[in-house]
Chains A and B, each alone.
Chain A
Amino acid sequence: MSPPDVAEFGASLSTAGVIPAAETPFVELRDVSLLYGEGEDGMMAVDHLRMTMQRGEFVAVVGPSGCGKSTLMKLVTGLLPPSAGAVLVDGARVTQPIKDVGMAFQNATLMPWRTTKHNVMLPLEVVQPHKARLRSNRAGYEELADRMLASVGLHDFRDRFPWQLSGGMQQRANLCRALIHQPKLLMLDEPFAALDAFTREELWIVMQDLWLERRFSAVLVTHDLREAVFLADTVHVMSNRPGKIVLSRKIDLKRPRTLESTFEPDFIEIVHELRAKITEVRAS
């Protein structure tokens, strides 16, 4: 194995060859800082954060708890404006919540008053151009939702209510909802953290299959290093608060990755390397 890239700003991208380094990045964080609160009480959540991400890349962000990973997500999607620096998505500066994003959180946040299928169809009622077409092409969109649900094994549960589903099933439905409007960018905030180990690994496979099929750009925030290495093309390690990227590690394991491959030496080596870095930043 090559020695770990300790370059700070994703400069290591050139070592892998999967994505041409010359392409302008899809997401770029330029020296982004975010201050919660004001004056003396203010707390620096992230500090001069720099990160880039290519179109169609699957990026994972790991780090000690409270390091501002979720803040990073809100910055990228424009839910929070940065105090300093700039966030660029698709070459344009983000000043308000950006459209064309799919989001999935640790809680499935499905609406209990809608059936699973109608939950999945929610983005179609809000996001253009689907919103305008939904009424005239209802059958087509219903079929799309059925297909999505079938692809994650939920076909028989489409007319059930979310609270009738297990936690793993709810998260599958959540992923369907995040993807049905074919967003350019998928943001995953610890979506599998509340699940048991077996269900979680099962959903890694589901997630990878969806990504291999559609090749959307994805940012995954997680505590789980195996999860990060399994799913991502690049893993960014964040430091303690105020968060900044201290390591960007390219994962060039071949795809599709299997659960078996998580026990192979090169996989484990990467996990160890990330773990060592996190231990180091936690101590500092």
Chain B
Amino acid sequence: MSARHKRIQQRLAPWVVTIFLIVLWESACRLFKIPEFVLPSPSSIATALFQFRNAIYENALWTLVTTVIGFGFAVVIGMVVGLAIGASALVYKGIYPILVAFNSVPKVALVPVFAIWFGIGAVPAVLTAFAISVFPIIVNVATGFATVDPEMHDLMKSLGATQTEILSKVGVPRSMPYFFASLKVSLTLAFTGSVIAETVGSNHGIGYLMLAASARFQVPLVFAGITAIAAMAVVMYSACAMLERRVAHWAFRNGT
């Protein structure tokens, strides 16, 4: 009974907190008569969401597609580079400084460059999403791989395992929990990247929609755009978490 009770409580907790915050927000807006172009109330955001549902849907889909493509590239390339860095000290020494330098460049500054190279459209958004989300994946996969137990390594070598076998049987599974941890960080970064790119150099996507709306002082629509991005990010995050449960279930030892 008590265990079941606890479970129900945990299920309800996120909803209760979210609804409480929305109610708080709504009542604050009404109570203090906050003008809509400063902070729209949740109800007017909902109205805007409904009113502009077609435009929001189309642009959200656009953003989702560019983000997922950029993120997909980041996953594949991050995996490969991460494994290479983790497996070889030489590769690590060779490219790590460049990676760190690259990562410290503000990606917003790159968007105009991408726009000059590839024109206004999807490509700059994809590239920005990729550029901003690849680094955490590289670093985490490399860490997972570099921290393989030396005894495990000795054991595999004494069995006559090739480098590829050690990689596939020890390195890759070992780095999976690290990989998924980085996915959760990278995914939200990828959304940030594509939306930033859309506000600078695009005529599609949620970022573009928000920019256009704010130019016309349609602040509820701006917030509706934010809501759409947040919703997409939460859904994608949950998908990653579910995948993690399937692939790296062994890393969750007590079913928590």
Which of chain A's residues have a CB closer than 8 A to the CB of B156?
126
The answer to whether B250 and A161 have CB atoms under 8 Å apart is yes
> Complex: how many Å from CA A109 to CA B169?
13
| A105 contacts B by Cβ under 8 Å | yes
A127 and B176 contacting across the interface, CB-CB below 8 Å: no
Q: Once the chains bind, are A103 and B250 in contact (CB under 8 Å)?
A: no
Q: Contacts A111-B173, A113-B173, A126-B165 known; A79 to B159 CB distance under 8 Å? A: no
Given A79-B154, A103-B154, A126-B165, A111–B159 Cβ distance below 8 Å?
no
User: Are A125 and B155 within 8 A (Cβ)?
Assistant: no
A164 nearest CB neighbor, chain B only: B253
| Binary interface encoding of chain B residues 151-168 relative to chain A, with 1 for a CB under 8 A from any of its CBs, else 0 | 110111111110001000
Q: Contact mask A83-101 → B, CB, 8 Å, 1/0?
A: 0000000000000011101
* Tally of contacts, chain A with chain B, CB under 8 A: 54
Interface of B is mostly: helix
Q: Indicate whether B181 reaches chain A with its CB closer than 8 angstroms.
A: no
User: Interface digits, B129-172 against A, CB 8 Å rule (1 contact, 0 not)?
Assistant: 00000000000000000000101101111111100010001100
List the B residue with the shortest CB-CB distance to A189: B151
- Residue B211 lies at the interface, judged by CB distance under 8 Å to chain A: no
Nearest A residue to B161, CB-CB:
A126
Q: How far is the CA of A170 from the CA of B14 in the complex (A)?
A: 40
Whether A163 is near chain B, meaning CB under 8 Å from some CB there, is yes
Is B157 touching A79 in the complex (CB atoms < 8 A)?
yes
Q: Does B248 contact A (CB under 8 A)?
A: yes
Residues of A with C-beta under 8 A to B151: 105, 107, 109
In the complex, the chain B residue whose C-beta lies closest to that of A74 is B154
CB-defined contacts of B158 to chain A, threshold 8 Å: 77, 79, 97-98, 101, 103, 187
What interface size band does chain B fall in?
Answer: 20 to 34
CB distance from A115 to the nearest CB of B (A): 9
Q: Provide the residues of chain B in CB contact with A77, threshold 8 Å.
A: 158
Out of B161, B165, B250, which one reaches A113, CB within 8 Å? B250
> At the interface, yes or no: A153 with Cβ under 8 Å from chain B?
no
Q: Give a binary string over B214-256; 1 marks a CB under 8 Å from any A CB, 0 the rest.
A: 0000000000000000000000000000000000101101000
Complex contacts, B149 vs chain A, CB 8 Å: 107, 109
User: Which residues of the partner chain A approach B253 to less than 8 Å between Cβ atoms?
Assistant: 163
B155 touches which of A99, A109, A161 (Cβ 8 Å)? A109
B254 to chain A, nearest CB (A): 10
B24-55 vs A, CB cutoff 8 Å, 1 = contact: the mask equals 00000000000000000000000000000000
Chain A, range 114-155, C-beta contacts under 8 Å to B = 122-123, 125-128
Cα A97 to Cα B165 in complex, Å, equals 15
In the assembly, what is the distance between CA of A111 and CA of B251, in Å? 11
Q: Which residue of B lies closest to A125 (CB)?
A: B169
Asked if A112 lies at the interface with its beta carbon under 8 angstroms from chain B, I say: yes
For A161, the chain B residues whose CB sits under 8 A away are 250
Contact A111 B160 (CB under 8 A): no
Give the CA-CA distance A111 to B173 in the complex, in Å: 9
The 4 closest A-B CB pairs, nearest first, are A99-B160, A126-B159, A113-B250, A113-B173
Q: Given A107-B151, A126-B161, 18 more contacts at CB 8 Å? A: A77-B158, A79-B154, A98-B158, A99-B160, A101-B158, A103-B154, A105-B154, A105-B155, A107-B149, A111-B152, A112-B251, A113-B173, A113-B176, A113-B250, A122-B159, A123-B159, A126-B160, A187-B158
Q: List 27 A-B contacts (CB under 8 A).
A: A74-B154, A79-B158, A97-B157, A97-B158, A97-B160, A99-B159, A105-B151, A105-B155, A107-B149, A109-B149, A109-B152, A111-B169, A111-B170, A112-B250, A112-B251, A113-B173, A113-B176, A113-B250, A122-B159, A125-B169, A126-B156, A126-B161, A126-B165, A126-B169, A127-B159, A161-B250, A187-B158
